[in-house]
Structure 1
Amino acid sequence: MVALNKKIKTHWYLIIILVIGIFITIPQIHHHITIIGADGLFHFNRIYDTAMQIKNHNFSYFIQLYGFSNSGRMVTSVYSPLITYIFGGILLICGSFYKFEIVTRFLFFILSGLSMNYALKMGKVKNQFMIQLVCIMYAFSPAVIRWDAAQNFTSIGAMLIPLVVGCGMRMVNNKDEPINWVQLGTIMAVVVQTHLATAIQSVFLLVIYAIIALIINRASRKKLLKNGIYAVLLCISLSLNVVAGMFELYNGNYIVPIVKFDFVDGKGIYNILQIFSGKWVNLFFILAVSSTLLFFFKKISLAMKVTGFLSLTLFLCSTTIIIDWPTIMHDSAVFSSLLQFPARLVGPATVLALITVASIGDFECTNFFIKQIRNGLILVLLLFLVVNMRSNFRYNRSASHNVLVSKSTTIPYIGRDPKTLKHITYLMKQPLNEQDINYITKSTSDYMPANHSIDNSVYWDYNNKIIQPTKNKNYKKEVAQHKIIVTWKGNGTYDNPPVAYYKNNHFKLNGLPVIPRSSGGIIKVPKVKGKIGKNVMEVTYTPKKVSVMMLWIAMLSWISIVFYAFIRLFRQVKRSFLFSN
């Protein structure tokens, strides 16, 4: 009973998170609306596809059979595969996108709080009030809340960043055991399976902490390097399915890249002077961290100093004060594709800032001025929580009224009038079916095969070659075991069935194997000469043997890790039971 009371006392923030979460979600629940943000339709298609794979026991890892208008696109195998299959299971249980959105929203609130709690524990923060406050704040920070507003996977990555920072701080704080290689390797693998841009940021953070640990702790250098190598090997083993997806996608294919941002007008770059645009939050974090480092520098640990300076560096790097982002993004394809926009750095910067400021609760202050600085920071944190909670409520109310935020959404035949929105709301609350995912579509062309090398997305060509031919019912599609079947009425001339044409696709036309030509234009779809009357084309995908082998190694590695975790949990429960008796 004592242990239970202690657990409740140290985790009351989870109850507060649920209460605030209910308050923020009231507009959506009241209107029974599925909020469809800028990235919603793109990710809903991926999640719907995995849900249908699970439901029909018809698994297709490398291409999507059910989503994206049954076009056989290759997306999930390179974009958060593990998380997308988990989401597919949740969607299947929920039965509708409306319920799915509510459930995942609260799930992320709780997981973000727990993730931050872990980081503060690794940072050796002891003041329970500050721990609880910062955990609540992070659960509703702009970095995390973007899933609710725009269904942005960056926010899911942000939810995991505290775990990465916790592992980094452990390298500096724990001189005897700086790295638990199973823990670190598994956490990084989960990040890779969630969001590659976040994984790259995480590697950068861990390298900084590792360098500091190697400098200050000579006695554990060998152990840190050895366990670090083990963690890397474990992460690679658990992530080979993503490597396999990348290999299949880019080997022998010209691929349409993700959309590029125009940085000339400052889009995608945090402007430190825009304090009246809602981005004042970032300036607040900069001032809070600067105050903490300035007034408590001698009191905070080395790991916390590193965390604070990293936070300030990332905040400043996301602006144009230090780096000329428009020039770099224009000249560097690597930066523009991996980072996409510098404002992404604000996510990890916020995590590092909150951890740094949380440390001030541990210090006894005899100096009156310093004490008032600390109390002032705590009060501002509380004020920030209240203001942010109100802002999130207002944003959700606005999003619930708007329903469709994306300008690239394609709605057939009718415009964005109240009748349309009411119909969309109705569809999204119904049990899962093709109609709700295909009625409204977004012409995002990311990862589609192209006929030649290009440097930007081509929404219009994807709309013309995939979306409109499918919506106009010129081609009928159905899904069979591991294949897509396209039927249409031909007149003996060449036709362009609206499916993707990757190198390892295989086609059968009217029962006979065929190697199609490539259609004209940018997006690559098959060009085949059918017969007069009904034509039937089967589309399958056959990956390379090395890709299949990598997929199996990754699956077996995850099974082993889950089994290992279960054994450890069983032993801990057994030990606790024996001690209690």
Structure 2
Amino acid sequence: MKKSRINWCNIFSFCLPYLAILILTTLIISSQLLSHATFITADRYFHFSRFYDAAQQIKTGNFSYFQNNITAMQSGRIINALYGPFFAYLNGLLVLLSGSWFTYQIIMDYLVYLIGGMATYRMLTKVKVRQSTAILLSLLYLTLGIMPGWLRADNFMAWGAALAPYVVMCGIDMIQDKKNPVHWLKLMLIMSIVAQIHLLSTVILAASLIPFALYALIVDDNKKQLILNLAKAVAGTLVLTANIWGAFLLLYSNNKIALPKSFNLNASAIHFSTNGSEHSQLPVLVFCLLIAQIIYVFFHLKENKLNTFVTIEGAILLLLASRIMPWHLIQHLLPGLGQSFQFPYRLVVAAYPLLFLGMGLTLESLTKYKKERFIVLTILGASLLQTTIFTYQTNYALTKIYNNPNRVAVLTTYYQIDNHRLDIRKATNGKDMGLLFKVINRTEPDYLPVYKQKLRPDTVNLLYRTDIIDQSLGYNYFVRRSSLNLSWVANRSGQVQLPIVMYQQSRLQVNHRVIKPKKLSPIGSPTVQQKKGYNIATLTFMVPQWFWLLVVISVSGWLVLIFYGLGKCIFLIRRLE
């Protein structure tokens, strides 16, 4: 029996996109790797805080699905329950395994870039774009728009951008697969994963699929089956995300929750840039590529139906995200958008995958026109070089800040930071990962309860400083199960305002008696009666049974899906044997 020969060409071809992504990522973050730098920005501090809380829950066994009992100044705030709780626990586990914030950050950088790069590559090869072109476009995707924001600041919409090509692949099926345009299992899975990580990305990406679904509905002969498959995808997504929408229903139905900070919409809309390619910055060379793509499709509308479709939708979304839109006027008419939507560039989470798919299809169409194809590939290569340099320069600049003993942290807004900034380096590279939250105290209004009408985010921040951070000294904190405990010794009896926050579902015990505070500050800090000597207060978020039922439904749905996937893998392996 002849031994099968190893096909090294196929192995190299399979590994090539992975190698290209790893090399690009390493090159971009090389200065950071050499300096062991961890960029502590506003978003990164926020996410590190919530993941450390989840990590300590796993480590101690004192699980608290709603209250943050370890971080957020141990105030009992709710964060993870509304911001990807399952994903927070996965990150908490990785935090424990990593051993330092630097190691954790680097692992996540490679992970996000590998997922985003391979998702774009698979999207392009799905429509038969040749490998070399697919790799070039995938690498450019990683250095443009939202993806570089991850390396700088852990901007969580980068997860949406990394997974967006998989969502677009569901749209491709709706255009090209005449027998089964809606692969409901695949659609349900990707939308549920995105929802468990970043909710706003889910909304934008789901909206971007509506034109695809409408097209399929118009041209498909078996409309009943198509609608049924869409209904299955929606129902399945609701099951897999029951813990997410259940938490919003529980909290927002009985509480007024503080809005995030408001931002200038026009300032964060897409615009030309000569020194960056991140978020709202659009380099001129990339702009030329996008314009060339749009012009090509305009003159070849009937050549490739999919190319025309994705380019038109992508161009509309890019236009909406740009400063061509009168964002000043829009914000004047709808001021709430500055707090809820915040950044128009967020629309590129759907726009760029669609336009990059169009560019890949166009380059395949130009195979017959060697001169034109060479020109476009040259501009593509130059664009990649430029955006790579921009992303490296940003990383290098942040590394210099980290190495500057007078700065170290990249925070632009904070409340308290230790005078010895070098302690931040110990906190990011040392084994005591909790030290970071002792060295730096930040304030942000997100998800705080509000008990006063028309409370501005900056006022909420100020109240958080005065009511929580400034009052936290003198208390001893400890956690038992899901409850946060505060103990203190009072010189005399009387009233005292505790440095915690209460939601409508919060239960407070003072000296082992359940009380209902008569006085709450505008952000829910209770004033209670203390006795002379030793006092103890216990804060617990009372979770109704119906919510735990939703969690069980969600977890059960994921387990069924995982076992189904494992079973399918085993079946395929046995068939190959």
Contact conserved, 1:38 with 1:151, CA < 8 A, in 2? no
For 1:464, the equivalent position in structure 2 comes to: 466
Partner of 2:204: 201
Q: Which residue does the alignment assign to 2:179?
A: 176
Task: Tell whether the 8 Å contact from 1:477 to 1:487 is kept in structure 2 after alignment.
Answer: yes
Q: SS in structure 2 opposite 1:349? A: helix
Q: For structure 2, which runs of at least 5 residues remain unmatched after alignment?
A: 403-408
Query: Within 5 A, what are the aligned runs for 1:170-569?
Result: 170-215=173-218, 217-263=219-265, 266-272=266-272, 281=282, 284-295=285-296, 297=300, 300-321=303-324, 323-332=325-334, 335-363=337-365, 365-366=367-368, 371-403=370-402, 404-412=409-417, 414=419, 420-454=420-454, 456-457=456-457, 458-470=460-472, 473-490=473-490, 491-520=492-521, 522-569=522-569
Q: In structure 1, the residue corresponding to 2:78 is in which secondary structure? A: coil
How many angstroms does 1:336 deviate by? 4.2
Q: Distance in 1 between matches of 2:159 and 2:539?
A: 33
- What amino acid maps onto 1:71 in structure 2? S
Map Cα deviations across residues 171-197 of structure 1 (whole Å, 9 max, x no partner): 101111212111100110111111111
Pick from 108, 112, 115: which aligns with 2:116? Answer: 112
1:17 and 2:18 matched: no
What is the DSSP-based 3-state SS (H/G/I as helix, E as strand, rest coil) of the residue aligned with 2:263?
Answer: coil
Shift of 1:487: 1.3
Measure how far apart 1:554 and its partner are. 0.8
Match of 1:154 among 157, 166, 171: 157
Residue 139 to residue 575, structure 1, CA distance change in 2 (3 Å): farther
* Percent identity of paired positions between Structure 1 and Structure 2: 23
Query: What CA deviation, in whole Å up to 9, does each residue of 1:17-42 have, x standing for no partner?
Result: 11122222221122222111231111
AA in 2 matched with 1:92: L
Q: Partners of 2:157 and 2:308 in 1: how far apart?
A: 26
What displacement does 1:545 show? 2.1
**AA paired with 1:385?**
L
Residue 269 of structure 1: how far off its partner (Å): 2.0
Q: 1:344 and 1:478 mapped to 2: Cα distance?
A: 40
Alpha carbons of 1:250 and 1:453: their partners in 2 closer, same or farther (altered >3 Å)? farther
CA drift at 1:286: 4.3
Q: Which amino acid in 2 is paired with 1:83?
A: F
Asked if structure 1 preserves the Cα contact closer than 8 Å seen for 2:112 and 2:162, the reply is: yes
Deviation sequence 1:1-56 (CA, Å, 0-9, x none): 65774253044021011112222222112222211123111111111111111111
Q: Which amino acid letter does the alignment assign opposite residue 400 of structure 2?
A: H
Counterpart CA distance in 1 for 2:12 and 2:51 is 35
Alignment partners' CA distance in 2, 1:133 and 1:195: 27
- What is the Cα deviation at residue 202 of structure 1? 0.8
Which amino acid is 2:389 matched to?
R
User: Given that residues 258 and 456 in structure 1 are in contact (C-alpha distance below 8 angstroms), is that contact kept between their aligned partners in structure 2?
Assistant: no
Q: What is the deviation of 1:218?
A: 2.7
Per the alignment, do residues 573 and 256 of structure 1 end up closer, same or farther by CA in structure 2, a change over 3 Å counting?
Answer: same
Counting matched residue pairs gives 560
SS at match of 2:421: helix
Q: Deviations over 1:326-380 (max 9, x none)?
A: 333344366445422212112322222211111133225545xxx4332222111
**In 2, Cα distance between equivalents of 1:337 and 1:300:** 43
Pairing of 1:49-64 with structure 2 (within 5 A): 49-64=53-68
Q: SS where residue 486 of structure 1 aligns?
A: strand
Report SS of the residue matched to 1:177: coil
Q: 5 Å matches for 1:76-95? A: 76-95=80-99
Aligned 8 A contact 2:242 2:551 in 1: yes
Correspondent of 1:71 among 63, 75, 86 = 75
* Amino acid of the structure 2 residue aligned with 1:38: A
Shift of 1:435: 2.4
The root-mean-square deviation of aligned C-alpha atoms, in Å, is: 2.1
The answer to whether the 8 A contact 1:286-1:312 is kept is no
Q: Per-residue displacement from partner, 1:382-405 (whole Å, max 9, x unpaired)?
A: 112112222222111111222422
TM-score, normalising length from structure 1? 0.91
Instruction: Report the Cα distance in structure 1 between the residues aligned to 2:418 and 2:41, rounded to whole angstroms.
Output: 21
1:417 match: none
Aligned to 1:135: 138
8 Å CA contact 2:285, 2:379 repeated in 1: no
Residues in 2 aligned to 1:98 and 1:461: alpha-carbon distance in whole angstroms: 32
